[in-house]
A and B are shown apart, each in its own frame.
Chain A
Amino acid sequence: MEKINLTIDNINVEVDKGTTIYKAAKKAGIDIPVLCYLNLEHLNIENRPGGCRICVVEVEGRKNLAPSCSTECTQGMVVKTHTLRVLNARKTVLELILSDHPAACLTCSSSGQCDLQDLSQKMGIREIHAVENAKVSTYRKDASPALNRDMDKCIMCRRCETICNDVQTVGALSGINRGFMSVVAPAFEQDLEDSPCTFCGQCVAVCPTGALTPFDDTNRVIRALADPKKTVIVQTAPAVRAALGEEFGMEPGTLVTGKMVAALRTLGFDKVFDTDFAADLTIMEEGTELLGRLTKFLAGDKDVKLPILTSCCPAWVNFFEHNYTDMLDVPSTARSPQQMFGAIAKTYFADMMKVKREDLVVVSVMPCLAKKYECERDEFKVDGNPDVDYSISTRELARLIKAANINFKALPDEDYDNPMGESTGAGVIFGVTGGVIEAAVRTAYELHTGKKLQKIDFEELRGLEGIRMATIDFDGIPINIGIAHQLGNARKLLDGIRSGMYNFHAIEIMACPGGCIGGAGQPLHHGDSNIIRARFDAIYREDAGKPIRKSHENPYIVKLYEEFLGHPMSEKAHHLLHTHYFEKHKI
């Protein structure tokens, strides 16, 4: 690799050819502020339109200032990152951006987590020139079940557009209009619900301002908790415990399972359960379905649809309902753990507690925004009453805890309630890419071969590469497995299957980077992919520390089948735990 030598603020730096000034400066320990630039290195996600012009620097011999995020270093380059000219330019440009941004920080849901706000604090903006009579660009507002769009607050960083198109290949958003009125929006500024949006929420996860925010369900939860007639129970998704601590200043990757349970109890939830329990249940159903299809296939049945696709991720479900309408019979019919939990809670558990369905409120805490949409799907309601009433995100939970004045860090560790709080390591790893399929393999292998696994950890299924493939030996039968996270990678995999390029038996897909740990409901990563990496490691630590690590060994699952469901894929299970898919062809 050719090396380039340059000086930045009088520091000599040597970098590889092709390195940008921004990265070279970082290497030299110089921090250049950025706004539109986003680089999640572990995940191959980059947004670099060079549009905000905040990261400009002075390069000797160049007429105008250079955007450091997208200017490559050249041999002998002399760069100055904080001359008066640079500082004046940055400040003036930031003032301009603020002059077209509503001054509503006090009530903005992104306040305190907003990159724009941070930057104006850092740069000491205290007044905005020319704001008198200045026109502010305003747009149609939209509130979908999963997220709110208030593009008056958009600064045209284009991160959401990049994510929606280049990373997720959903194509719900595009830059529209021109000049001062340009903004990112769905076609015709229509509602997201009328667009091919999957509600994966990754646009929200990268938005540097309050333009894209999660739909806020906290008030509804508070109202339910305050209602003495209601029994309110909560389930927490696997990925939440690996990230919630960040909201309270803890190191990324800190596991806060026990504190979270304690906090939820303090908040007044009648029972604190674990979605991991439902994940184990999912494995029983999905694993059985996989084995069924596999057995038929191996027996030569030509009608059987393979590969089986996981169906836990609601954004992924939306994605294939929009884009792969010809393959609707391929994914597993198993409902997601959130919905299995809801269905069991409002039948089995409600009976057990002798609570009427309508008096039982099921709340879920999810790393995800699509879950908000999922629990509103009609097929998951009984006479209009949803199996899961409200889904709040990790960040919303953090807000509830803060609003209730709970000193989270000082909370003791507490355990989940039973029966739906017991889970296995297999349930935990549902939170990362590769986890669902690994959990399924752990169970399917043992059920299929009748043998005990020698080694529970399937390292070959783990990792953060966008598409991974592995072959697992099922006692002489090679089972081909494909894994993709982020919908763009899923598309590649699916297209490969459609064209016959790939030959898989089972495929796991998660819509978000790294899986649920990188979900849009999680604490914001602000462009630091190390955070996602840390959560990833935490999930596997939690798994390794669990006494039981295979779903079919979860005693409460065994009990659930004995007492209520009968056996996996039974008629009752089918009714409560399985679903079907709809064609939602939209461009």
Chain B
Amino acid sequence: MSTTFKIQESHIKTIHDICDSFNNDPGELINVLHKCQGEFGYLPEDVQREIASKMKISVAKVYGVVSFYSFFTMTPKGRHAISVCMGTACYVRGAEKVVDEFKSQLSIKVGGVTEDGKFSLDCLRCVGACGLAPVVLIGEKVYGRVEPHQVKDILAEYND
């Protein structure tokens, strides 16, 4: 679980600024975590410790919150984060097969990152583009009506 993330002075300042902007109010913890995840891409242990100490909340409580909400992550995402919508509409239109295809193409599990750190694969709940089901998001880009046989081509778009 421990990551290679090493916290630096500049990070500490960023974290403190974010906490200060919410008046270090423990009630704003979730907003603070959102901002910090936006800043670092994920929430490594050290970041959580720093938030806890700055906001005077126990780090156990901070971790309790981070581990409760699916939006927060403690592992860095791949450079291209793949999210397959698993909302009901997408599910009935075959999202599961699409996920399976990504898993086998990338040889990673859901929640995993490829060894080169290029892709990560996650499932998410409804993105609300049910008309395009099944939907896959890669970074900000949305792919609609995805069929398993298209997966290979989609991934090929990201050849560096």
By a beta-carbon cutoff of 8 Å, the part of chain A in contact with chain B is 165, 170-178, 185-189, 195-196, 586-587
Task: Tell me which residues across on chain B come within 8 A of A171, comparing CB atoms.
Answer: 57-61
Taking the nearest CB of chain A, how far is it from the CB of B81, in angstroms? 21
**Whole-angstrom distance between the Cβ of B143 and the nearest chain A Cβ:** 29
Contact with A along B64-107 (1 / 0, CB 8 A): 10011110000000000000000000000000000000000000
Chain A contact residues: helix, strand, loop or mixed: loop
B68 touches A187 (CB 8 A): no
A177 touching B68 in the complex, CB below 8 Å, given contacts A165-B58, A172-B58, A587-B59:
yes
B23 an interface residue at 8 Å Cβ cutoff?
no
Whether A173 and B67, one on each chain, are in contact in the complex, defined by CB atoms closer than 8 angstroms, is no
Inter-chain contact A587/B67, CB cutoff 8 Å: no
A174-B45 in contact (CB<8A) = no
- Cα A171 to Cα B48 with chains together (Å): 15
Q: B150 at interface (Cβ–Cβ under 8 A)?
A: no
Query: Which residues from chain A contact B59 at a C-beta distance below 8 Å?
Result: 171, 187, 586-587
Query: Do A176 and B58 have beta carbons less than 8 Å apart?
Result: no
Min CB distance B44 to A, Å, is 10
Measured in the bound complex, the distance between the Cα atoms of B15 and A523 in whole Å is 46
Confirm or deny: B22 has a beta carbon within 8 angstroms of a beta carbon on chain A.
Answer: no
Question: Which chain A residue lies CB-closest to B2?
Answer: A188
Total CB contacts across the A-B interface at under 8 A? 55
Instruction: Decide if A176 touches B64 in the complex (CB within 8 Å).
Output: yes
CB of A71, distance to nearest CB on chain B (Å)? 26
Inter-chain contacts of B69 with A (CB < 8 A): 178
Closest-by-CB residue of A relative to B66 is: A176
Taking CB atoms, residues of chain A closer than 8 Å to B57 are: 171, 587
Count residues of B near A (Cβ-Cβ below 8 Å).
Answer: 19
* B29 interface contact, C-beta 8 A: no
Whether B64 pairs with A174 at a CB distance below 8 angstroms is yes
Q: By the criterion CB–CB under 8 Å, are A587 and B63 in contact?
A: no
Query: Which residue on A lies nearest to B51, using beta carbons?
Result: A587
Contact between B53 and A187, CB atoms less than 8 A apart: no
* A188 and B58 contacting across the interface, CB-CB below 8 Å: no
> In the complex, what's the smallest C-beta–C-beta distance from A319 to chain B, in angstroms?
13
- List chain A residues, Cβ under 8 A from B52: 187, 587
Residue of A174, A177, A178 near B60 (CB, 8 A) is A174
- CB neighbours (8 Å) of A185 from chain B are 60
B156 at the interface (CB under 8 A from A): no
CB distance from A193 to the nearest CB of B (A): 14
Minimal Cβ-Cβ distance residue in A for B50: A587
The chain A residue with its CB closest to the CB of B1 is: A188
Docked complex Cα distance between A188 and B53 (Å)? 16
- Residue of B58, B60, B64 with most partner-chain A CB within 10 A: B60
Chain A nearest CB from B48 CB (Å) reads 7
Smallest CB separation, A165 vs chain B (Å): 7
B1 cross-chain contacts in A, Cβ below 8 A: 188-189
Instruction: Give the docked Cα–Cα distance between A186 and B58 (Å).
Output: 10
A173 to B62, CA, bound (A): 11
Chain A residues near B62: list those with CB within 8 A: 187
Is B68 within 8 A of A178, CB to CB? yes
Query: With A176-B60, A176-B64, A587-B53 given, can you name 9 additional A-B contacts, CB distance below 8 Å?
Result: A174-B64, A176-B63, A178-B67, A178-B68, A178-B69, A187-B52, A188-B2, A587-B52, A587-B57
Residues from chain B with Cβ under 8 Å of A196 in the complex: 58
Tell which of B48, B49, B62, B67 has the most Cβ of chain A within 10 Å.
Answer: B67
Report the separation of the CA atoms of residues A173 and B1 in the bound assembly, to the nearest whole angstrom.
Answer: 18
State in angstroms the CA–CA spacing of A175 and B64 once bound together.
6
A170→B69 CA distance, assembly (Å): 24
Assuming the contacts A587-B49, A587-B52, asked whether A186 and B68 have C-beta atoms less than 8 A apart, the reply is: no
Docked CA distance A175–B65 (Å): 9
In the assembled complex, the Cα of A189 lies from the Cα of B59 at a distance in Å of 11
A586–B60 CA distance with the chains assembled, in angstroms:
11
Chain B residue numbers with a CB within 8 Å of A165 are: 58, 61
Among the listed A170, A172, A176, A586, which residue makes an inter-chain contact with B67, where contact means beta carbons less than 8 Å apart? A176
Contacts of A586 in B (CB 8 A): 59
Whether the pair B68, A172 counts as a contact (CB closer than 8 A) is no
> 28 A-B residue contacts at CB 8 Å?
A170-B58, A171-B58, A171-B59, A171-B61, A172-B60, A173-B60, A174-B60, A174-B61, A174-B63, A175-B64, A176-B60, A176-B68, A177-B67, A177-B68, A178-B69, A178-B70, A185-B60, A186-B60, A187-B63, A188-B1, A188-B63, A195-B60, A196-B58, A586-B59, A587-B53, A587-B57, A587-B58, A587-B59
| Chain A, Cβ-Cβ closest to B65 | A174
> How close is A566's CB to chain B, nearest CB, in angstroms?
45
